[in-house]
Amino acid sequence: MWGGLKARRSPPTITGTKISIPAYPWTASMEPGFESSILVFGFYVDKRNPWKWTENPEAGMKLVRFGEPQREQPGVLTPAGDILDVSSFTGDYNAAFFEDDGIANLRAWLEARAKDLPIAPAGVRLGAPITRPGKIICVGLNYADHAKESNSQVPPEPVIFSKAVTAYNGPCDPIQVPRGSKKTDWEVELAFIIGRRSKYVAEADAMRHIAGFAVLNDVSEREFQAERCGQWVKGKSHDTFAPIGPWLVTPDEIENVQNLAMRLDVNGQRMQTGNTNTMVYPVVFLLSYISQFLTLEAGDVVGTGTPPGVGMGKKPPVFLKPGDVVELSVEHLGTQRQEVIAAD
């Protein structure tokens, strides 16, 4: 294992729909033969030639999609915050890409070609980091303190529900308040993206079925969810209610997915603070559990629940209205920023 290397940097800054990643100040104790290199997103980068990437088989990448809605192109984030256009390798980050071991193949392909690839324009819009999934499955009441603020008991088994795939949205695209809504709420979540067909998966094998992790805002309309009869899907599925991204981070870039800080602000005021270490049911258990009831396919998204601090739990309750700005992040997975608007 290549060891002894750590990176420290300031958080990304966001202006409108542009996410700017500061330069990386690196501190490192290098392995023999790599004294002139730094480890970045799955590659050793030669400091004398920043486009000379040498593959590290145990490190990961950040995948992004950029461009106008419905016309996004696949990219890879570089240490300088540039986005390499990899559309000459794959048309998109879709189910076929993940099923065909696309991440490993892309990593190998980049080693020879990264220096020749075009860079996306500065300030380009970021879409969700994968194409529209076949399914969005979420887990409710998976943080004990959130269950308490919701006046609910911690469930003896995971509570699972679905969001309509038409809710899928880019990380910095606007959130719509539905017509007639008085209780549109926020939920910062860790999401994982399925990398291969998953049915009856053992917990010990679960991580091998995950393509990567991302930030998810599980936007919810509480009246539609809890007061209008039926299942939660009615309050979870309005257009724009599933912003994901800004990037997909491969599992080998996360040291411990069960120890990631989370936060969400509304209009600059901190609303949610949490950590994935307080989940009731951890990631590998959730994937295994869900796969006992339904088949998860490559590109499907699973949200793992939210920590305390949602609007309905405030005293008095606080809900989103047009003009509000929501900003949320999960450690190592990037930051989202959404302006709230009224639905058409």
Query: For tokens 């088994």, what's the residue?
Result: 157
Other residues' Cβ atoms within 10 Å of the Cβ of residue 135: 18
Instruction: State the Cα–Cα distance between residues 159 and 138, nearest whole angstrom.
Output: 8
Q: What is the pLDDT, as a whole number, of residue 149? A: 78
The DSSP code for 12 is: P
Q: Name which of 222, 187, 217 is nearest 337 in CA terms.
A: 217
Written as one letter, the residue type at 69 is P
Q: What is the pLDDT, as a whole number, of residue 89? A: 97
Instruction: State the Cα–Cα distance between residues 298 and 101, nearest whole angstrom.
Output: 11
Q: What is the pLDDT, as a whole number, of residue 273? A: 96
Q: What is the pLDDT, as a whole number, of residue 13? A: 44
Using CA atoms, how far residue 113 sits from 74, 103, 216, 247, 340, in Å, is 15, 15, 32, 21, 40
The answer on pLDDT for 27 being more than 70 is no
Mean pLDDT of the chain: 85
Kindly report, residue by residue over 106-154, the tens digit of the pLDDT.
999 999 999 899 999 999 999 999 999 999 999 999 998 877 877 778 8
Using CA atoms, how far residue 217 sits from 121, 287, 323, in Å, is 26, 19, 18
Using CA atoms, how far residue 87 sits from 40, 73, 74, 165, in Å, is 21, 6, 6, 24
Summarize the confidence of residues 187-216 as an average pLDDT. Answer: 98
Element (H, E) at 161: strand 159-163
CA 221, chain centre distance (Å) = 21
Summarize the confidence of residues 40-56 as an average pLDDT. Answer: 38
Choice between 12 and 61, residue whose per-residue pLDDT is larger: 61
Kindly report, residue by residue over 148-198, the tens digit of the pLDDT.
877 778 889 999 999 999 999 999 999 999 999 999 999 999 999 999 999
Summarize the confidence of residues 91-96 as an average pLDDT. Answer: 98
Q: Which distant-in-sequence residues (6+ apart) come within 8 Å of 87 by Cβ?
A: 73, 74
* % of the chain beyond a pLDDT of 70: 83
Q: Which distant-in-sequence residues (6+ apart) come within 8 Å of 181 by Cβ?
A: 221, 223, 224
The answer on pLDDT for 255 being more than 70 is yes
Structure tokens at 172: 């910095």
The answer on pLDDT for 1 being more than 90 is no
Structure tokens at 275: 């950590």
Q: What is the pLDDT, as a whole number, of residue 107? A: 94
Instruction: State the Cα–Cα distance between residues 318 and 148, nearest whole angstrom.
Output: 17
First to last CA, the chain: 53
Q: What is the pLDDT, as a whole number, of residue 79? A: 80
The answer on pLDDT for 11 being more than 60 is no
Kindly report, residue by residue over 273-314, the tens digit of the pLDDT.
999 999 999 999 999 999 999 999 999 999 999 999 999 999
CA-atom Rg of the chain in angstroms: 20
Q: What is the pLDDT, as a whole number, of residue 54? A: 38
Q: What is the pLDDT, as a whole number, of residue 29? A: 28
* % of the chain beyond a pLDDT of 90: 74
Q: What is the pLDDT, as a whole number, of residue 340? A: 98
The answer on pLDDT for 55 being more than 70 is no
The DSSP code for 99 is: H
Please give the domain boundaries of the chain with CATH numbers for all domains.
5-127 (no CATH), 136-342 (3.90.850.10)
Structure tokens at 204: 């010990």
